[in-house]
Chain A
Amino acid sequence: MTDHTTVEVSKLQELVYELRIEDVMKREVVTVTPQASMREFKELLRLKRISGAPVVEGDKLVGIISLEDLIKALEDGQMDNLVGSKMTSGVETLFSDDSAVQAVNRMARFGYGRFPVVDRSGKLVGILTRGDILRGLLRRLEVNYREEEIQRYRASHIFQDIVSDRTSLILRYRVRGKDFRQGGAASSKIKRAIERLGGGPPIARRVGVAAYEAEMNLVIHTDQGGEMEVEIQPDRVYILAEDQGPGISNIEQALQPGFSTAPEWIREMGFGAGMGLLNIKHCTDGMKLDSKLGVGTRLEMWFHIPPPESAPKQKEDLL
């Protein structure tokens, strides 16, 4: 991966790579056999309103013939000659399972606007023009966009759609101790859930940061990990992070900025700054920490979700 190629890969370019030629090509192809006369070919062009056609023998593509070839035959008075003798053979083709980007490259290289598409056995299965690729891309962009919108819409209306006196959604995550590779996975999912449910960026961020610190505490300080339970209601979020780990000997001290019991190897990764609980305090609208040495730790966090219109500026300013 070089610097420059990665920079230039945009969303649209990703799509061009993903899109297969068979997804966008036209499958109904008007073809002509090499045994047809140029006169018959002329009729075909007139009836089907096309300007050229692949020449096919049995299943196999053997050439391509165009309006230009027809005009030449007309001038030379060779309208009774066979298509097989007037066509261009050795045609540039595309494979149906190639990506659209290969089609774009070949069109640019050869300057043709239309390519017959064959499968790996050489059988003609379709035809592809620039317009087909463009249409395919636009359709795919629209589908992607709409799917995301629908998912978002459905999720954000779950509280209106499902009626009860008090509806809440409960998410549970198992966090493994000392697993730094997976650390942060639960809080990323929690943040995404809040966004999907229609929480704006400030609340999603607040919940995400607090959940991350709580999750990393489980990763850093316990061996067997712990559980996170998130209860989401339209106007509030509650998170419980619980473990049967070593416990905290002095909660007051643990809340002091800069105090940490993390060992050196963990600090080297940038954890254990002694800021975690403080960060949680800043991000939440309430927190409760209970711990017993040798028994475990229970951290509860509350967040108010401001109503969409009159969102009061509060904790967000701190972030």
Chain B
Amino acid sequence: MTIQEIVNKLGLQVITPGDIEQEVTGGYAADLLSCVMAKAKAGNVWVTLQAHPNVVAVASLLNLAAVIISEGIKPDLETVERAQENRVTLLGSPQTTFAVVGELSKLGVGGA
């Protein structure tokens, strides 16, 4: 499943496109950055309600496929700019992290 397909199926907002045709290897959800650093794998989609520039740094360092920012939280301009620079895909959803993860799970995105 590609990020584009997830965007279409979940009706996500694309904040920055990055490499949207990328295949997703699985998912991870947490708001503690060090947990993400420890557990998220390359190509994963990360669901969080953090929306500051360090989210981009983490996603870029881990080669994550995309970040879904939940609960309708809007990243600031600097975060968006940094995501564009680093070609990191930032997506937005009005739903809670729990609900987003539930939907991803229904699509077969695993949390291995």
Contact = CB atoms under 8 A, between A and B. Distances in A.
Interface of A: 1, 3, 6-7, 9, 180-181, 183-185, 187-188, 191, 201, 205, 208-209, 212-213, 216, 269-271, 273-276, 278-279, 282, 319
Interface string B26-68: 0000011111011001100000101011101110111100000
A205 B62 contact: yes
A273 B35 contact: yes
A270 B33 contact: yes
Which one of A180, A183, A270, A278 has the highest number of Cβ atoms from chain B below 10 Å of its Cβ? Answer: A270
Contact of A7 (B7, B38, B61, B63): B7
B52 A212 contact: no
Contacts of B41: 319
B38 A278 contact: yes
B13 interface: yes
Nearest to A269: B52
A205 B61 contact: yes
A212 B56 CA distance: 12
Taking chain A's interface residues, is the majority helix, strand, or loop, or is none over half, making it mixed? helix
Interface residues of B, number: 31
Given A3-B14, A275-B38, A270 B61 contact: no
Interface of B: 4, 7, 13-17, 20, 31-35, 37-38, 41-42, 48, 50, 52-54, 56-58, 60-63, 78, 86
Contacts of A191: 60-61
24 contacts: A3-B13, A6-B16, A7-B4, A7-B7, A180-B53, A180-B54, A181-B78, A183-B53, A184-B56, A184-B61, A187-B57, A188-B60, A188-B86, A212-B57, A212-B58, A213-B34, A213-B37, A216-B33, A270-B31, A270-B33, A273-B32, A275-B37, A279-B34, A282-B38
B14 A6 contact: yes
Contacts of B4: 7
